[in-house]
Amino acid sequence: MVENRTGAGGAIALATAAKAAPDGYTLVMGGSAPSAIMPAINRNVTYAPKDFEAIGYVAGLPIVLVAHPSVPAADLKELIVYVRANAGKLNCGHHGTGTGTHLACVQFARMLGVQIPDVGYKGAPQVNADLLANRVQLYFATLPTQLQYIRAGQMKAYGMASPARAPSAPEIPTLEEQGLKGMNLDSWNALYAPAGTPRLIVQRLNAELQKILANPEVRRRIENTGSIVRPGSAEALAKLTADEYAHYRKLAADANIRLD
């Protein structure tokens, strides 16, 4: 049975699952934002990664750094030079304070060691409208929403903020392979159970998840959304969640970002 618990960007669903009996009969599909980012920066969130047993990674939604075509940089190396030479003059659009897109702007500015003003919007359509109009110049966005603009020449793509190139756009290199280390910002979905779920149950659920993700029809439906299926172990997901939680806690503290 699927029960949709909407609200608070997924935090309500995860908070509910955290309190469920750890018997393997209640699972939650957590994304990177509600699973790692929100508990790291929002003091009102009542759970943390320790309140869950990782089951397995399901899919990642690749993130791409795009810019308005007026930015006179041919590649990421030239973009970094240009941004540093124009500190404070370029704006980075995002989806609101504390969102993954906001923290991407903050992290990019800190890695380059310059000021990049960030501008919050309600979501991707609003950011794209102002990016196309050159009111903001930079944006870390999900690849599927930007691909049409990139291929039409309405935006420049400077790299995937993901561990690997996206199958749907293999011509776009990653930021990592271009020398900008640590900007892996995939928006991911993964399966969790309440903390205390027995190890044998976790192993069984992970095994069943791997079978499901190996099904060609399931993979096709996931990949048609622009996501990338990345099966893996429960241990790998637990490490990913803990590492991202720690990363965003430090980033939020260093940049004085805190949600109440």
Instruction: Decide yes or no: CATH 3.30.365.10 for domain 63-160.
Output: no
Q: What is the pLDDT of residue 79?
A: 97
What are the sequence ranges of the domains in the chain? 8-60+186-254, 63-160
Examine domains 8-60+186-254 and 63-160 and report if their fold is the same: yes
- Mean pLDDT by groups of 10 residues along the chain of 260 residues: 83 94 96 90 92 96 95 97 96 90 93 95 93 97 92 96 89 95 88 97 97 96 87 94 92 81
As a residue count, the chain comes to 260
Q: What is the pLDDT of residue 260?
A: 65
- The pair of structure tokens assigned to 98 is 């504390």
Tell me, what amino acid is at 80? I
Question: By the 8 A CB rule, do 162 and 62 touch?
Answer: yes
- Residue 156 gets which letter from DSSP? E
Triad 139, 121, 128: Cα angle to 5° = 45
Quickly tell me which residue has 């320790």 as its tokens: 50
- What CATH number should be reported for the domain whose range is 8-60+186-254? 3.40.190.150
